[in-house]
């Protein structure tokens, strides 16, 4: 019997095709196209004064609505730091331009959602630049949302304002969405590598996109505003870079030396924490044991978040990649920390959808479906019915 089983196993291995990264990551392009159907349009780059056909509206105009953790120390040039940060506004007229002072990383990509259509904008250089959409709009009212696709450690850009047709006007400030969800995570939650057809890489940053991450998809499904504080490589105790989330989650910028965020603005209704992948992955790569202090550090992080947000629901999520499947210490540490919190508004969930490398958009979509269902099933909010 044992010999028969071994022969069967060998036969199965021989019959199975050898899968490459290209084979594994096929089919997600359809998901990207469905979620994010990009329009074909060009942006004219202007670094000198605008002509008389356009008027400039400064970023401190009270008709702009900002979401995300943003640096407003200069209100005329707020810095869009974190992935998923947005600027929303309404305007009239037949023209639209956006003025930025890019960081110079050349890895800055934005989705510009104009009247329901999505245009891709790539920022380059370090000079104040107007990007004028080369498409004539109707003369009526238009809605616009500028969405930052890339991680905070990739680039930070100053938004200076909008260009609209001379004689047109800004309309009423858009309303905030009725729900705010804040995420603390790593590259999974940031959307790293989620539109790459082959192996994980950091060559073309247009293929790293928070807009097609599970965090952003969940927020759109629940009609919620997004705050995404996620850093590729970060962990609770260790990190592939200098940012350790348990020590930096209160920072304004993606840096351990950053000033603290003031937390004076809107507070989230729900906080999702998805960390631990790199605590396992980095130590495995370095041939080190799993961090002894992981459970206490994770528990302390939950306690700090609770102290900052006394009324928020906290969801301790795990998964999206394989660490939680491979490490009992990781899964047990998180479970024990949640149990130690001992309160009904601190919940745990485990994503069933996962991949061994970074999840692509199709896996993100399944993760978003799971999180949406979990929230609707377990979270209750005053005046909110699912």
In this prediction, residue 119 carries a pLDDT of 98
Q: 184 near 275, Cβ under 8 Å? A: yes
With contact defined as beta carbons under 8 Å apart, do 192 and 209 qualify?
A: no
Q: Would you state the torsion angle of the CA atoms of residues 291, 292, 297, 299, taken in this order, to the nearest 10 degrees? A: 120
Q: Can you say how many angstroms the Cα of residue 177 is from the centroid of all Cα atoms in its chain? A: 17
pTM for the full predicted model = 0.92
Closest by Cα among 273, 325, 328 to 297: 273
Cβ(226)–Cβ(83) below 8 Å: no
Q: Please count the other Cβ atoms lying within 10 Å of the Cβ belonging to residue 29.
A: 14
Distance between CA atoms of residues 16 and 249, nearest Å: 45
Burial 36-52 (b: 16+ CB within 10 A, else e): beeeeeebeebeeeeee
Report whether 150 contacts 107 (CB < 8 A).
yes
- Token look-up 């331009």 returns 97
Tell me if 182 sits within 8 A of 102, measured CB to CB. Answer: no
pLDDT of residue 12: 30
Question: What's the pLDDT at 315?
Answer: 98
Cβ neighbours for 122, distance < 8 A, ≥ 6 positions apart: 108, 109, 110, 206
Q: Are 109 and 161 in contact (CB under 8 A)?
A: no
pLDDT tens, per residue, the chain with 386 residues = 433 333 333 323 223 333 333 445 567 999 999 999 999 989 999 999 999 999 999 999 999 999 999 999 999 999 999 999 999 999 999 999 999 999 988 889 999 999 999 999 999 989 999 999 999 999 899 999 999 999 999 999 999 999 999 999 999 999 999 999 999 999 999 999 999 998 999 999 999 999 999 999 999 999 999 999 999 999 999 999 999 999 999 999 999 999 999 999 899 999 999 999 999 999 999 999 999 999 999 999 999 999 999 999 999 999 999 988 899 999 999 999 999 999 999 999 999 999 999 999 999 999 999 999 999 999 999 989 99
**For residues 383 and 178, what is the distance between their CA atoms, to the nearest angstrom?**
10
- What pLDDT does 104 receive? 87
What is the CA angle 359-363-368, rounded to 5?
A: 115
Q: Kindly provide the residue ranges of all beta strands, DSSP E only, lying in the chain, ordered along the sequence.
A: 43-46, 54-58, 65-67, 70-71, 79-80, 86-92, 96-101, 108-114, 117-123, 129-133, 141-148, 157-165, 179-185, 224-230, 270-274, 313-318, 346-350
In residues, how long is the chain?
386
d(CA 380, CA 131): 43
Do 117 and 39 touch, CB atoms closer than 8 A?
yes
Strand partners, 185: 230, 274
**What is the per-residue pLDDT for 15?**
31
| Per-position DSSP letters for 97-145, written without gaps between them | EEEEE--S-S-EEEEEEETTEEEEEEE-SSS-EEEEESSPPPSSEEEEE
Q: What is the CA radius of gyration of the chain?
A: 22
What pLDDT, on the 0 to 100 scale, is given for residue 41? 85
Angle at 182 between CA 298 and CA 103, to 5 degrees: 105
Task: Return the residue matching tokens 């962990």.
Answer: 235
Per the rule left: phi > 0, alpha: psi between -120 and 50, beta: everything else, 38 is beta
pLDDT at position 106 is 86
Contact of 153 with 190, CB cutoff 8 Å: no
Q: What are phi and psi of 255, to 5 degrees?
A: -160, 140
Residue 26's pLDDT is 60
């Amino acid at each position: 019997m044992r010999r028969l089983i071994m022969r069967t196993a060998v036969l199965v291995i021989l019959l199975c095709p050898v899968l490459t990264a290209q084979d594994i990551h096929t089919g997600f392009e359809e998901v990207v196209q469905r979620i994010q159907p990009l329009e074909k349009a060009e942006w004219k780059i202007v670094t000198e004064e605008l002509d008389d056909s356009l008027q400039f509206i400064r970023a401190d105009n009270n008709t702009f609505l900002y979401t995300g953790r943003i640096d407003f120390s200069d209100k005329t040039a707020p810095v869009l730091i974190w992935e998923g940060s947005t600027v929303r506004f309404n305007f009239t007229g037949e023209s639209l331009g956006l003025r930025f002072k890019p960081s110079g990383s050349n890895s800055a990509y934005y989705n510009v959602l104009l009247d329901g259509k999505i245009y891709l904008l790539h920022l380059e250089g370090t000079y104040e630049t107007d990007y004028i959409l080369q498409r004539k709009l109707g003369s009526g009212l238009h809605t616009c949302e500028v969405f930052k696709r890339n991680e905070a450690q990739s680039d930070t850009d100053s938004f200076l304002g909008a260009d609209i047709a001379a004689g047109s006007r800004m309309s009423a400030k858009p309303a905030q969405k009725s729900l705010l969800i804040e995420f603390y995570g790593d590259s999974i939650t940031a959307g790293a590598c989620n539109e790459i057809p082959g192996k994980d890489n950091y060559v073309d940053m247009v293929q790293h996109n928070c807009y097609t991450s599970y965090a952003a998809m969940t927020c759109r499904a629940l009609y919620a505003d997004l705050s995404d504080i996620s850093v590729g490589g970060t962990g609770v105790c260790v990190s592939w870079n200098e940012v350790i989330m348990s020590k930096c989650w209160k920072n304004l910028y993606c840096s351990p030396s950053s000033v603290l965020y003031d937390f004076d603005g809107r507070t989230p209704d729900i906080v999702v924490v998805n960390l631990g992948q790199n605590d396992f992955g980095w130590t495995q790569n370095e041939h080190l044991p799993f961090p002894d202090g992981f459970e206490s550090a994770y528990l302390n992080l939950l306690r700090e978040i609770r102290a900052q947000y006394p009324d928020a629901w906290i969801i301790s999520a795990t998964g999206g990649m394989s660490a939680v499947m491979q490490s009992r210490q990781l899964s047990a540490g998180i479970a024990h920390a949640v149990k130690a919190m001992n309160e009904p508004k601190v919940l745990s969930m485990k994503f069933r959808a996962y991949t061994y490398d970074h999840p692509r958009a199709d896996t993100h979509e399944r993760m978003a479906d799971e999180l949406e269902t979990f929230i609707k099933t377990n979270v209750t909010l005053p005046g909110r019915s699912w």
